[in-house]
Amino acid sequence: MHYFLCVRLESFYARELVRKVPDLGDSTFVVTDKGYVLDASDDALSRGVVSGMSVSQAKALLTSARFIERKIDDFRNAQREWLDTLVPFSDTIEPLDQHEAIVDLSGHPRSQEMANWAIQALSNHSPRVVTGYGESKWIARLALEFGRGEAQDDPLVFLAPLPVQSLVLLRPATRDKLHLLGYRNVESLRTLPLQVLLNQFADEGLLIHRLANAQHFEAVEAIYPDRSFGCLFPFEGGTDSLETIAAGCVALARQLGLKLLNEEQETSELLLHIEHEAKVVSFARTFSKPIRNELSLLASLRLLIEGKTEETVYSLRVTLPHLKRAKRVQNGLFAQRADGERKLSQAVSTVQTVFGQASLCRASEIELPRRVRLLKEMGQIVGWR
C-alpha cells in the first residue's frame, strides 16, 4: 500500500522575512504572489486576511500595511533547510511550493512512525505544520487542504462529501459544467455511468470516474535532493546482529553501486540514516576518493557505520548526494604493468624506511654466491640442466 505524507509550513514566508528584516516584526505586512495573498503577519491574519485571497480584497481590509511580492531566491536557502529535515525519512520528496512538499513513505514497514518523526523534526522550523495523508498524491493534498489529516483508512468515505471543485486534476471548465449539471460533491459523481461520462467529456470522462471512485493513482516524483541516489534496507522487527547489519550494508552497496555504474555517476559524500526504536539518527562523511561503484561504496559505508549500531536497528537508509558525472580514465597498453611496478616500489620503500634497508629486498636484487654463478654459466656453455 502507498503512504504519502503532504506537509505545509504555515507562516513560512512571514517568519523568514522577519528573520531577515527584524523591523518587520512590529509591522503589518502581507506576502503576495501573482496577485494573491501567500502569507501575512499575525496582525494581518487577525484582521481577516487569509492565504489565497486576492490582493485587492486584502487591501480593502488593511488600510495601512506593507505588501511584499515574493522573490523565489529570497527563500531558497530556507526551503533547503526544512527539506533537508525530511531526507532521513525518505528518498522520494517532491516540493510543491517553497513552503509545501509531499513525501513518499510507502516502502517503509513503519510508515506512520516515520511520518510522526518527520513532523516532529519539522516543528523546529515552524510552530505549525499542517499535514495530510493519502494513498495517492492528490488525495494527500486534499486531506491537507480540507483539514481531515488522515485519508488513508477509507478514501471513498473521505472523498464523498468534498465539493466537485476540489478535484483540481480536472479542467476548470469541466468542474464548472459538472456543478451546473447539479453534481455538487464527489459522491454524486459515482451515480454517473462510465459510458455517459465518456460521451459527455470524452477522454476526461474516464478521469472523472476514477477520481470519484478513488481509483486514480498519482505518484510522488523524486525531485529533492537534486542529483542524488538513495536506498532503504529494512530489518523486520529490528536486529542487534552485527552480521545481519553487515549483510544489509552489502545489499545497499550492491544496489546503489550498480546504479552508480549504470548512470555513470560518482560522489565523495555519503549520508547514513539509522532507524532505532523511537528515533532516526543521521551521519555524514566526505571521503577523499570518489564513490563510484559497489566496492568503494561498501568500504565507505563500513567506515561510516562502525561503532554506531549499539542499539536495535530497524532500517538503514543510504543517501548519495551531489552526484556528478564519473571521470573516465583511458589506460595505456602497458599502464597496468607500470602502475604495478610503481606500487611495488612504494611498498618496498615504506618497509625499508621503517625496518631498515636490509629488512626487505626484491628477488632480482639478491646476489648469488660465486660458486652458484659459476656453475650456472658452465651449465649454459655445456648444456647442463
89-106: pLDDT as tens digits: 999 999 999 999 999 999
pLDDT of 385 reads: 56
Q: Are residues 81 and 171 in the same domain?
A: no
- Residues 343-356 have a mean pLDDT of 71
Answer yes or no: is 378 within a domain.
no
Rounded to the nearest integer, the mean pLDDT of the chain is 89
pTM score, whole prediction: 0.79
Query: Could you tell me if 19 and 134 lie in one domain?
Result: yes
Sheet holding 36-40, edge to edge: 36-40, 29-33, 66-69
Q: Is the pLDDT of residue 357 over 90?
A: no
Please check whether residues 233 and 294 belong to one and the same domain: yes
pLDDT-based confidence at 329, cuts 50/70/90? Answer: low
Does 135 share its domain with 44? yes
Q: 71 in a domain, yes or no?
A: yes
The predicted structure's pLDDT at residue 312: 95
So what's the pLDDT on residue 358? 72
Domain assignment present for residue 272? The answer is yes
74 belongs to a structural domain: yes
One domain, residues 164 and 289: no
Most confident region among 126-135, 342-351, 363-372 by mean pLDDT: 126-135
Helices (H), 47-191: 55-61, 76-84, 111-122, 137-145, 155-159, 172-180, 186-189
| 300 located within any domain | yes
Residues 14 and 137 in one domain: yes
If asked whether residues 51 and 129 sit together in one domain, one would say yes
Classify 283 as helix, strand or coil: strand
pLDDT band at 205 (very low <50, low <70, confident <90, very high): very high
Query: Which residue, 97, 116, 145, sits at the end of a domain?
Result: 145
Please tell me the number of Cα atoms within 13 Å of 147 on its side-chain side. Answer: 0
Domain containing 57 equals 4-145
Residue 103 phi/psi, 5-degree rounding, is -120, 135
Distance CA 141, CA 131 (A): 9
**Is residue 161 domain-shared with residue 136, that is, in the same domain?**
no
Q: Which amino acid is at 359?
A: S
| 278: its cell numbers | 523511537
3-state secondary structure of 272: strand
Largest CA distance in the chain: 117
Q: Determine, yes or no, domain membership for 304.
A: yes
**Percent of the chain predicted with pLDDT > 90:** 74
Q: How confident is the model at residue 322 (pLDDT cuts 50, 70, 90)?
A: very high
Tens of pLDDT, residue by residue over 126-173, are: 778 999 999 999 999 999 998 765 555 789 999 999 999 999 999 999
Distances (CA, A) of 280 to 90, 152, 233, 274, 314: 11, 24, 14, 6, 10
In a domain, 377, yes or no: no
Across residues 202-211, what is the average pLDDT? Answer: 95
Quick check: 354 pLDDT over 90? no
**Contact in structure between 284 and 270 (CB atoms under 8 Å):** yes
Within this chain, do residues 95 and 179 fall inside the same structural domain, yes or no? no
Question: What confidence score (pLDDT) does residue 342 get?
Answer: 67
Taking residues 294-298, report their average pLDDT. Answer: 95
What local confidence, expressed as pLDDT, does residue 334 receive?
47
Q: What residues have CB less than 8 Å from 365, skipping those under 6 apart?
A: none
Whether residue 8 is predicted with pLDDT greater than 80 in this model: the reply is yes
- Domain end point (choices 212, 237, 259): 212
Q: Give the count of alpha carbons within 13 A of 385, CB side only.
A: 0
**CB-side neighbour CA atoms (13 Å) of 4:** 27
Specify the pLDDT at position 255. Answer: 96
pLDDT tens, residue by residue, 102-113: 999 998 889 989
Q: Return the C-alpha torsion angle 38, 42, 48, 50, nearest 10.
A: 20
Boundary (domain end) residue, out of 212, 237, 254: 212
| Under 8 Å between Cβ of 139 and 177 | no
Domain CATH code at residue 264 = 3.30.1490.100
What SS3 class is residue 23?
helix
- Answer yes or no: do 25 and 99 share one domain: yes
For the domain that residue 203 is a member of, what is the CATH number? 1.10.150.20
Instruction: Look at residue 339 in the predicted model and tell me its pLDDT.
Output: 60
Between CA 38 and CA 26 the distance in angstroms is: 19
Q: Containing H/E element for 361?
A: none
How many structural domains does the chain have? Answer: 3
Is 137 or 360 the better-scoring residue by pLDDT? 137
Name the most confidently modeled range: 171-185, 339-353, 356-370: 171-185
Say yes or no: 14 and 135 in one domain: yes
Q: Which three three-digit cell numbers place residue 5?
A: 505524507
For residue 344, being part of any structural domain is answered with no
> What are residue 45's phi and psi, to 5 degrees?
-65, -35
| Same-domain status, 64 and 107 | yes
Per-residue exposure over 64-76, b if at least 16 CB sit within 10 Å of its own CB, e if not: ebeebebeeeebe
Sign of the alpha-carbon dihedral angle for 50, 51, 57, 59: positive
Taking 80 as the threshold, does the pLDDT of residue 315 lie above it?
yes
Residue 95, domain CATH: 3.30.70.270
